[in-house]
Structure 1
Amino acid sequence: MKPQINDLRSAIALLQQHEGQYRETDHPVDPKAELAGVYRYIGAGGTVKRPTRIGPAMMFNSIKGYPDSRILVGMHASRERAALLLGCKPSELAQHVGQAVKNPIAPVVVPAEQAPCQEQVWYADDPDFDLRKLLPAPTNTPIDAGPFFCLGLVLASDPQDASLTDVTIHRLCVQERDELSMFLAAGRHIEVFRKKAEEAGKPLPVTINMGLDPAIYIGACFEAPTTPFGYNELGVAGSLRQTPVELVQGVAVNEKAIARAEIIIEGELLPGVRVREDQHTDSGHAMPEFPGYCGEANPSLPVIKVKAVTMRRHAILQTLVGPGEEHTTLAGLPTEASIRNAVEEAIPGFLQNVYAHTAGGGKFLGILQVKKRQASDEGRQGQAALIALATYSELKNIILVDEDVDIFDSDDILWAMTTRMQGDVSITNLPGLRGHQLDPSQSPDYSHSIRGNGITCKTVYDCTVPWALKAKFERAPFMELDPTPWAPDLFEK
């Protein structure tokens, strides 16, 4: 049965019905590093420094310095929770999301009176307006460049063709009372829009949408070539919910906003204006990134001039802990779906499942489970790996395993690597390929073989049994039975 979710609040209501998935606290917390420090122990997971764990989503109801605010963290920080919110099994997420991206349902525009996100409005031209006092943007660590909106989904349109709209999560640092810096990775579609506007000497209107139906965030994390230029990722969420995402016209800029968002920041990307990301702290660091390290502060970033902020009553500011399990879910599910769709199209029935492992933040490490059905399938595992690397360019390492290996169990993966791999014949290195600049090892300083930042050697670990030796690698055949009568507290749902 599909969950009846159309915004963040209905998603929270669903989690409240399931033990261990959601908790609240009224104990006061400082948004400056303390909130993330607390959640590190409760549920961050991912590549966060140990000790950490996968735990519940958590609402902080008492924010120091912001008596009317509350902050939610960890909504997506569990594969089990993501499946619950999307109405499928955890092992079926790649297939479920993969079907949605192939069958999008376009968003629709609703009138302002049907848009909860505009229940409250603040205009930046008011002399008392100050974004820094209005919203408790957190810092993840004491050395962050400044307060960040970590789950700000930016919506913008092509200045030359308004029918082309894109949504992407970007790094947004609060710089002044009405200014944000914005990090845009090269090649992102909104960066293409920004450059077009800048070349014409015009600002680019944007809305920053926060506190959303989880399906919107997950769908927004698809990338090219799965979602080519002009593909509106809001259609993925529409397909996942089988109802269109609702948009509303902004109150201060000529752009749409997500009507059922908790908080909207409306603004314009200014042409020719740049700012140093850590101009107020001189920390040298931006914030923790998904590989588990603190990224360097960027010396020159575009600036968003804020025009207005709109909110629901008693709005929820949604955030994440940078390198945690939440990033694995948001980045990893679209990665898995993209790879599954591409390999299935090329080699039908061969790929059984795929997992964008949390150790790679949902981007760097892919586990591919394959099934060799006949002698001629030998070697297709390598083909599947190459398709995966071509489909998602930020992948660094791929581990191939057989159908009897649980790809969501790291111990089982390491068992396959230990007993079904020989380093001299089972490892393929592909040097000199484009990777991801946030991996600190993908740098000329690390290896003389690397020509520039973001260039890497990609590696395929073939931990599959050769077809001719299948009979010698059968796992110990334990009896298949229902254990519930012996331990009902462990197995009864």
Structure 2
Amino acid sequence: MTNEPYDLRKVLRELQQSTGQLHATDKEIDPNADLAGVYRYIGAGGTVMRPTQEGPAMLFNNVTGFPGTRVLIGLLASRKRVGLMFHHDYHTLGRFLRDSVDNPVNPVTVSEADAPAHEDIHKVTDPDFDIRTLVAAPTNTEYDAGPYITMGLVSGSSPDKTMHDVTIHRMVLEDKDTIGIYIMPGGRHIGHFLEQYQKLNKPMPVTISIGLDPAVTLGATFEPPTTPLGYDELGVAGAIRNEAVQLVQGLTVDETALARSEFTIEGEILPNETMQEDINTNTGKAMPEFPGYDGDANPAVNIIKVKAVTHRKDHPIMQTVIGPSEEHVNLAGIPTEASILSLVDRAIPGKVTNVFNPPAGGGKLMSIMQIHQGEESDMGIQRQAALLAFSAFKELKTVILVDEDVDIFDMNDVIWTLNTRFQADQDLIVLPGMRNHPLDPSELQAYDPKSIRTRGMSSKLILDGTVPFDMQKNFERAQFKEVKNWQDYLK
């Protein structure tokens, strides 16, 4: 059993050995808003509307309308849990992933006999084929545009098959064989490949793998410049596990899928065709996104025509995520930390000791950077580090700079430093008219007509809470006695 390749089931078995990290229930749950509504209280966290909290991952074994299918939510909704699953200290996951990017282990293709993802096959030619009854895609709220696949790994290649990539997109089930996929403009490799297919006026074959080892899903969220065009992020997962991710050839499309996934959808993105994302509801809403607000329904999402659905036979697991949850924070934030560390370590080695992208920024909009000032010539290096962070990740909006004695994972400690080591007229820096994440709801021209010329632009902010090197003696924290046996007093 120990030599079995990593997949979601192996991870869940390991997680069951840790108290309070995974809870399964046989109580019936409706996937339409109820499932996410329940987990909101149990463990969603992140930027979800309060009350919410950090809690266990949940496995729902009795899902209305989907006998035999289980739904998993919240697997990565705790940074400590991510550390457990990766067998690594959660404080330094950013550096761990940076090293994994630098030392990828490339995926391998296996035979059908070694691909449990293809144990049960449903083709679009089957008379009763309907993706909406085969895939237990939940809705986060009652106002969603439809059932969404939120943890589906889209695999695609360039038309000449020289480059391959995997990315995660929001995908809504529109009818029995149609999926609307939102591909955010700029940067994503899948979008680049699609542009090439559109110029050829040819459909782009893709597979969507659901229910995966979290090393795969988290590794897949890297973006340029850390993983440039042509870099296959499946190598990151291979490095995390020190074993190659297993692929299998698609049954109905010329593309590979994850051989050990729980569900696989095969299909083609139609060239030069789009559709209204909320065509079935006309609510104007898509689904809750990472900033904590409902995303606007896109009037022109790309169209995937489904050709087949495959899954494991033994109670396959549909995996899902709440858009603004702590799970998304970790999916987006830890790779962003790795990207920032990768750039600053090359440009100013040894000056940034750690980076944390906290839940308050949804993993994307805010970074806390811990700075080492060892000599007088380091004064000002902290602001250089902030500029490098914006260069490493254009969707970053706010950088908070703190000293080494501040716990960057404790927001009380971070805000303390802004109250005791920060003067707004000296230490607040605004950078107007820069690129940002298009899902930031404050990016309205009416909000800031001078610097927001179009959606996806924003002013950016540096809050410098570091102490100048020549004033450090004035800001020494009260030193308490180090007591090694303090825990004995709790017995």
What corresponds to 2:330 in structure 1? Answer: 329
Please list the CA deviations of residues 332-359 of structure 1 after superposition, one character each: whole Å capped at 9, or x if unmatched: 1100001111111111111110001111
The answer to whether the 8 Å contact 1:32/1:139 transfers is yes
Partner of 1:385: 386
* Aligned partners of 1:157 and 1:166 also within 8 Å: yes
Please say if 1:253 is aligned against 2:253. Answer: yes
> Where has structure 1 moved over 4 Å in runs of 4 or more?
2-5
SS state of the match for residue 154, structure 2?
Answer: strand
Cα contact 1:247–1:258 (8 A) shared by 2: yes
Note the alpha carbon deviations across 1:251-299, whole angstroms, 9 max, x for none: 1101000001010000000112211000010110000000000000011
Structure 1: which amino acid aligns with 2:269?
Answer: L
Query: Structure 1: how far apart are the matches of 2:220 and 2:194?
Result: 18
How do residues 331-410 of structure 1 correspond to structure 2 at under 5 angstroms? 331-410=332-411
Q: 2:226 touches 2:342 (CA, 8 Å); kept in 1?
A: no
User: Pairwise CA RMSD of aligned residues?
Assistant: 1.1
Contact 2:105 2:242 in 1 (8 A): yes
CA shift, 1:3, in A, is: 11
CA shift, 1:246, in A, is 0.5
Compute the TM-score of the two structures, normalised by the length of structure 1.
Answer: 0.97
Match of 1:317 in 2: 318
Q: CA deviation at 1:438?
A: 0.4
Aligned residue identity for 1:172:
M
Deviates more, 1:446-455 or 1:365-374: 446-455
**Deviation of 1:486 (Å):** 1.2
- The separation in 1 between residues aligned to 2:378 and 2:322, in whole angstroms, is 42
Partner Cα separation in structure 2 for residue 347 and residue 193 of structure 1:
34
> Within 2, Cα distance between the matches of 1:446 and 1:145?
27
SS at match of 1:432: strand
The answer for the alignment partner of 2:448 in structure 1 is 447
Report how many aligned residue pairs link the two structures: 486
- 1:484 maps to amino acid: Q
> Is the counterpart of residue 484 in structure 1 residue 483 in structure 2?
no
Q: Which residue of 1 aligns with 2:158?
A: 158
Counterpart Cα distance in 2 of 1:199 and 1:466: 55
Distance 1:65 1:263 in 2: 17
Displacement of 1:445 in angstroms is: 2.3
Amino acid at match of 2:473: A
- Deviation of the 1:109 alpha carbon: 0.4
Does 2:438 align with 1:437?
yes
Within the alignment, does 1:471 sit opposite 2:473 as a pair?
A: yes
Other-structure match for 2:99: 99
| 1:174 is the counterpart of 2:173 | yes
Q: In the alignment, residue 431 of structure 1 is paired with which amino acid?
A: P
Instruction: Tell whether the 8 Å contact from 1:406 to 1:413 is kept in structure 2 after alignment.
Output: yes
Q: Cα deviations across residues 39-70 of structure 1 (Å, max 9, x unaligned)?
A: 00000000000000011100000011111211
2:165, 2:224 → 1: CA distance?
A: 12
1:262 counterpart = 2:265: no
Q: Which residue in the other structure is 1:24 paired with?
A: 24
SS at match of 2:184: coil
Offset of 1:5 from its aligned partner? 6.4
Query: Structure 1 counterpart of 2:474, which letter?
Result: K
Checking the alignment, whether the CA contact within 8 Å between 1:69 and 1:315 is kept in structure 2 is yes
Please identify, of 190-199 and 47-56, the stretch whose mean Cα deviation from structure 2 is larger.
190-199
Shift of 1:485: 1.3
CA distance in 1, matches of 2:246, 2:483: 47
For the 8 Å contact 1:5–1:11, the answer to whether it is kept is: no
Mapped pair 1:423 → 2:424:
yes
Whether the 8 Å CA contact 1:267–1:305 is kept in 2: the answer is yes
Q: Which residue of 2 aligns with 1:491?
A: none
- Counterpart of 1:306 in 2: which secondary structure? strand
Task: In structure 2, give the amino acid aligned to 1:466.
Answer: P
Answer whether contact 1:3 1:87 (CA < 8 A) is retained: no
How many angstroms does 1:36 deviate by? 0.2
Name the TM-score, length of structure 2 as normaliser. 0.98
Q: Deviations over 1:382-425 (max 9, x none)?
A: 00000000000000000000000000000000000000000000
1:87 CA displacement:
1.0
How far apart in 2 are the matches of 1:57 and 1:434?
35
TM superposition shift of 1:301? 1.1
Cα distance in 1 between the residues matched to 2:468 and 2:271: 57
Are 2:184 and 1:185 aligned?
Answer: yes
Which structure 2 residues correspond to residues 52-63 of structure 1 after superposition, within 5 A? 52-63=52-63
Distance (Å, rounded) in 2 between the aligned partners of 1:409 and 1:86:
22
Mapped contact 1:3–1:85 kept (Cα < 8 A)? no
Cα offsets for 1:71-104 (capped at 9, x unmatched): 0000000000000111111111111111000111
Task: Write the distance in 2 (CA, Å) between the matches of 1:65 and 1:310.
Answer: 18
- Between the aligned partners of 1:300 and 1:42, the Cα distance in structure 2 is 35
Q: Residue 403 of structure 2 contacts residue 467 of structure 2 at CA under 8 Å; is this kept in 1?
A: yes
Number of the residue aligned with 2:202: 202
Whether the 8 Å CA contact 1:5–1:213 is kept in 2: the answer is no
Name which of structure 1's ranges 42-51 and 343-352 shifts more when overlaid on structure 2. 343-352
Cα drift, residue 4 of structure 1? 7.7
8 A Cα contact 2:146 2:278, kept in partner? yes
CA deviations on 1:434-462 (whole Å, 9 max, x unpaired) are: 00110011221211222111110001000
Residues 281 and 153 of structure 1, relative CA distance in 2, 3 Å threshold: same
CA distance in 2, matches of 1:431, 1:231: 32
- The alpha carbon displacement at 1:481 in A equals 2.1
Per-residue CA deviations over 1:194-231 (Å, capped at 9, x if unaligned) read: 11111111100000010000000111000000000000
Query: Can you list the C-alpha shifts for 1:156-196, whole angstroms capped at 9, x where unaligned?
Result: 0001x313001000010000100100000112111111111
1:11 Cα deviation after fit: 0.6
CA deviations on 1:12-55 (whole Å, 9 max, x unpaired) are 11110000100011111000000000000000000000000011
Distance 2:319 2:427 in 1: 44
Aligned to 2:243: 243
- What runs of 5+ residues in structure 2 fail to find an aligned partner? none
Q: Percent identity?
A: 50
The answer to whether the Cα contact below 8 Å between 2:355 and 2:370 also exists between their aligned partners in 1 is yes
SS at match of 1:50: coil
